[in-house]
């Protein structure tokens, strides 16, 4: 059984590696292999069943002790995953297509994303935090024929993402924009909205979305609690007058889970 000391030592080692690798990104592929290795190790760490058991047995006081480190790792790993997507986009430009474990994980999740609220060819899907390698828009558009719009606050992610879509998604109805939800006319038309798990303010944005969306919209909030909160921003309570939780899709083998919300009418 993994002890608190062992856990803390592993986590501090990850924090040190993430810290180093994040500042090394220089728009080349020089440090890509190293980052990919650490992210894959980290993905395995947060999904390992024995780590989950050990984590669930931690006492409240032990968790409180770890809290600053958990916050730091969540922030650092989000940054490093965004960089890993940049590397993957740059590799594609170099003609190299490679799917790391983390990406397989996301790809496998897409079929389950909306539970009983399936995406059809008539759906209008909006992704908040589309990233530099927009797998979610590509897979949804390819599998369902739906229109997909992705937004991101990072200009480089939009530029790289558009090149990826040009290369892998020719003929698909995908648009990427560096726009805020309130400045995008599509927000009102969207039937399905997905939040990337590593968007830090996703629950503030969900609250804001209540006034910006139509009555039928379904929101898939990717999140991670407990052990998975090391790699994801966790689930939060919503304003009960605005959003109700209609499903909670738990995926033990995957890095994040999915909470589905509908509007309280």
Ligand X SMILES: C[S@@+](CC[C@H](N)C(=O)[O-])C[C@H]1O[C@@H](n2cnc3c(N)ncnc32)[C@H](O)[C@@H]1O
**Number of residues engaging ligand X in binding (CB under 6 A):** 21
DSSP assignment letter at 241 = T
190 binds ligand X (CB under 6 A): no
Nearest CB to ligand X, comparing residues 36 and 85: 85
Find all residues with CB under 8 Å of 57, minimum gap 6, and list them. none
How far, rounded to the nearest angstrom, does the alpha carbon of residue 120 sit from its chain's CA centroid?
22
Among 7, 11, 83, 135, binds ligand X (CB under 6 A): 135
Find all residues with CB under 8 Å of 206, minimum gap 6, and list them. 195, 219, 221, 238, 243, 261
Quote the least distance from Cβ 206 to ligand X, whole Å: 11
Nearest CB to ligand X, comparing residues 7 and 206: 206
Sign of the C-alpha dihedral computed for residues 180, 191, 236 and 6 taken in this order: negative
Find all residues with CB under 8 Å of 248, minimum gap 6, and list them. 257, 258, 259, 260
Looking at the DSSP bridge assignments, the partners of residue 55 are: none
Quote the least distance from Cβ 226 to ligand X, whole Å: 21
Among 76, 187, 198, 229, binds ligand X (CB under 6 A): 198
Structure tokens at 97: 């297509």
- The answer to whether 225 and 251 are in contact (CB under 8 A) is no
169 binds ligand X (CB under 6 A): no
Structure tokens at 89: 């986009």
Q: Which stretch binds ligand X (CB under 6 A): 7-15, 22-30, 196-204, 247-255?
A: 196-204
- Which positions from 16 to 55 touch ligand X by CB under 6 A, shown as an x/- string? ----------------------------------------
- Which positions from 77 to 106 touch ligand X by CB under 6 A, shown as an x/- string? ----xx--x--------------------x
By the criterion CB under 6 A, which residues form the site for ligand X? 81-82, 85, 106, 128-131, 133-136, 151-154, 157, 196, 198-199, 201
């Amino acid at each position: 059984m993994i002890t608190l000391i062992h856990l803390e030592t592993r986590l501090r080692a990850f924090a040190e590696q993430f810290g180093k690798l994040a500042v090394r990104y220089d728009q080349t592929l020089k440090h890509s292999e190293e980052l990919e290795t650490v992210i894959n190790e980290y993905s395995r760490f947060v999904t390992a069943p024995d780590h989950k058991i050990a984590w669930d047995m931690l006492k409240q006081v032990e968790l409180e002790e770890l809290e600053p480190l958990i916050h730091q790792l969540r922030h650092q790993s989000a940054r490093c995953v965004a960089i890993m997507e940049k590397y993957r986009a740059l590799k594609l430009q170099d003609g190299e297509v490679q799917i790391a474990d983390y990406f397989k994980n996301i790809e496998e999740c897409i079929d389950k994303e909306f539970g009983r609220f399936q995406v059809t060819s008539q759906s209008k899907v909006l992704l908040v935090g589309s990233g530099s390698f927009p797998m979610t828009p590509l897979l949804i558009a390819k599998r369902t024929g739906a229109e997909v719009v992705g937004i991101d606050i990072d200009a480089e992610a939009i530029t790289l993402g558009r090149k990826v879509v040009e290369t892998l998604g020719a003929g698909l109805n995908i648009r990427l924009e560096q726009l805020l939800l309130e400045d995008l006319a599509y927000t009102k038309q969207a039937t399905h909205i997905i939040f990337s798990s590593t968007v830090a303010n996703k629950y503030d944005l969900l609250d804001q979305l209540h006034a910006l969306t139509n009555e039928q919209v379904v929101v898939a909030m990717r999140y991670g609690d407990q052990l998975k909160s090391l790699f994801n921003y966790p689930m939060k309570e919503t304003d009960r007058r605005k959003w109700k939780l209609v499903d909670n899709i738990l995926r033990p083998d995957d890095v994040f889970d999915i909470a589905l919300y509908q509007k309280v009418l």
